[in-house]
Chain A
Amino acid sequence: MNNLLSIQNLSKSFGGNQAVDAVSFSIQEGSIMGLIGPNGSGKTTVLNMLSGILQADSGSIKLENRSLNGLKPSKLAKLGIMRMFQMTRVFNRISAFDNLLISGQALGLSFNDSVGKADQLMQELQLEHVKFLDAGELSGGQKKLLEFGMCFMRSPKLALLDEPFAAVHPKMRETMVNFIIEKNKIGHTFLIVSHDMPIVQQLCQECICMSTGKVIASGNTKSVLSSPEVIEAYLGDDHV
């Protein structure tokens, strides 16, 4: 498999706080990679830099050897890097279906193609019964599924999912997991930030663990989760 995304020495600080410190890793095309770590370890900051919301202080981000440094989120979305946020970001005052339509058109689909794709995603994500409700009227889990769907209106090269399973009903979580597995089978690439270790183990072939802005372990998910550094970072040194 080829490297889809390469990150070299990525750093970001806020005032005196070094949120991300010389982080390097790469994601292979068609893989599902997990990004784990305790709260405040810099996972979301990495995702913010990958999706263009924050600009890195130093380091490089390359998608298929093309530098992404300095590009706006809208440009990155058009290049195929789609982002799902931890705090769901849907368009609350328009219907769930319109949310998908607008996302499709923003990614360059025609109106008719967007309608077709939105219908298909509503079905796949089992959101048909809330299709015409305003997004603001949906439950937290339904909103997560909707934003998840918005990322797939046009096949993304890389889907960045920040805590997609947090506070989601098990049934919806299952829908989302199955969707990810199906999309991965046809070659989609994912970077998933999650605290849900059983799902990380189920989905991710590779995993990176961050603590205090640094990568402390990376590689095969099983070996990362059993590494003493990761256990110490999550549970404290008493558990090592």
Chain B
Amino acid sequence: MKMNEEMIFSTLDAISAREFPQGYNLLHQPGKKAKSIFGSSRRVIALGLITLLALVLMAFVLYRLFSDPGLGAAHDAGLGSTTKQTAQSTLLPATATLPYAQKSPAVLNLAQTQQGVTLTLEWISLSRTRLIAGFRIENLPDGQTIGMPTVDFSDISVQQYRGRLLQFYDSPVQTAEFTSNQVIGVDENSAPVNLRMEVPLEDLSGQTLGTFAFDLKGIPADSDSPASGQFTYSARVDQQEVRLEWLKIGLAGSSALICYDNGSTSPVLSPENVLFQVNQPEGKISPVQTGTDMKGVSAPEGQSCAVVSAPITLNTGDLQMLVGLNHLGAQEGTWQMAAQPSERGPFSEPLRNSPTPQPTMSSQKLGELTANLIWAYADTNRVAMEVHFDGWNVNYSVGEFTVKDASGNEINSSYGSTIVGNDAATQLMTIYLDQTGQPTQASQVDLGVDVPVYDLNQSEQPLASFHFDLHLPVYPAQNIKADQKITANGIEMQLIDLSLTPTYTQVTLCYQKPPSIGTNFDWWMGQGVVLQIGSNTATLDGGRLLSDSDLGGYAGKGTPPADLPTISDGRCVQLGFPIGDLDSSEPQSLELTIPKLEISMPEVVPQEEIDAANEKLSEKGMHVQYQTLSASGGGGGGFVFTQKPVGMNDQQAYETLLEALGYEYPGPWKFSVTIPGR
């Protein structure tokens, strides 16, 4: 058979799938920075990626909205309403069929006694990829221990065995949690599973004294609670694979079953080359503990296996245990594996004699989450609400609002929310009532706002929703005719009018367009546009095209404003800035500065334009090439600088290029207006 492209794909897919199998989830892995036994630091996992995503989004929203100085200034100036309205959460029912709804373990409480030792299998959680079980151990004498359990799935197929972990927890009643990683041939719609679990009772030399055997019938294979930990099953260096078959973390020491391919007839692993280390909170890491004891165990042909022990354990708060090798016989390497226990199961309070499973909803304490509306504001363009949540959790997030009018009809609005200050429990929520930008003419708005709250660990549906009824006076806009004309670099620009609310300013500008480049006539504001009112400044928040001579005139919705001039070879635009007049009764100065106009980059820059630009750039020691693409998945192009002066960064080079291409047209145009007091 010929090696064809499909085969290359499937082989590459198989190679990468060994590292990242189907079902791998970056979001649901435990994640801290794990520090290497071997000195370097690396990020082992991505725990908290959901939280990180939330923080990133908060920052993103912050950038978009609470760089909105207008609302902040309005709040500080005492505008708006201090409502003191409080809403109790409306708990939404958990929907068990959704993939992200946590499904609790099966509670078993099966007790057996061997040699006077009682082992109770309290609960078991089974999914396609992991089995987690919780034990209670009573009357265990010194000199005896619980060995590594084994699981036999009698009537279903098992694949990809990926290691086992057993950790003991100290308490008046000793408990242990066991995780077995494998893929079983079921899905969430399959029938419950039968399995047999055997747990050896051992002496300290590993000799089996007895076996607890649990034949379990009808275990659902769809449980995903508690959250599973992490287990690195194997590491490969220079084709030498080392496998961590299991790790047992005791109260005073730990032991690991390590297997490796071995062409030799005698084992080549030495206990001093096995390194144990603990990742602790706040980025700390324990000293390296080498193996102190090793016992060979039987292994398949061509392999060697040994149980290596060391006096090291995980204490409360520790993150994970690292197990590594730095030598295997004569071969040096950095084989490194990590094991992190699952979250504690439903009986993490070991003193409880008659444990009761914790329902998911009540454990999230959403019933204690209260939203307090502490400030609200409305003008002709938008409504803002400041809400403080009591009982807020770092994993919570506000979702998309639903806004209804006084008749209960949903309003097509857009929204945003951002945290206020550093307190994630206090959020500023902004609602733009009309996405076309048309201001409301009403003197009061009456709205019903439903604010959903999501738990990022279970984010397919909101966990609670809060309802607020808003009855707010609307701050009117102040409209000012300007009719100022400024000419710069041969281009005339006209400030037609301004519309100011206490928190936002819109200006209408008309201008001649610089010479088009080819068929490109889309001249727009360049970077650096600034509006200053009194001592407050803001950059451009957004804008829309009102008319363009190349587009046949008026391009807005409805009928054109009566005072909108007709500009031959020009256009009119409306620009928005997130500062306003703060409802001031005093006159204020306003300055609008537009440093340059720019034209949008075409999808494909003609080669003759690039050649012409390169002629200009060569005088500055620069040369550029342009890449283009057109494909089903996307298209576009980009410049690559093949030559530029030492010390010139990419942004500087790009600005220089735009000038050389003629895509920027410098001004500046500066307008000054005095705003009368209200």
Whether chain B is bound by chain A comes out as: no
Task: Point out residues on B near A: beta carbons under 8 Å.
Answer: none
Identify the A interface with B (CB < 8 A). Answer: none
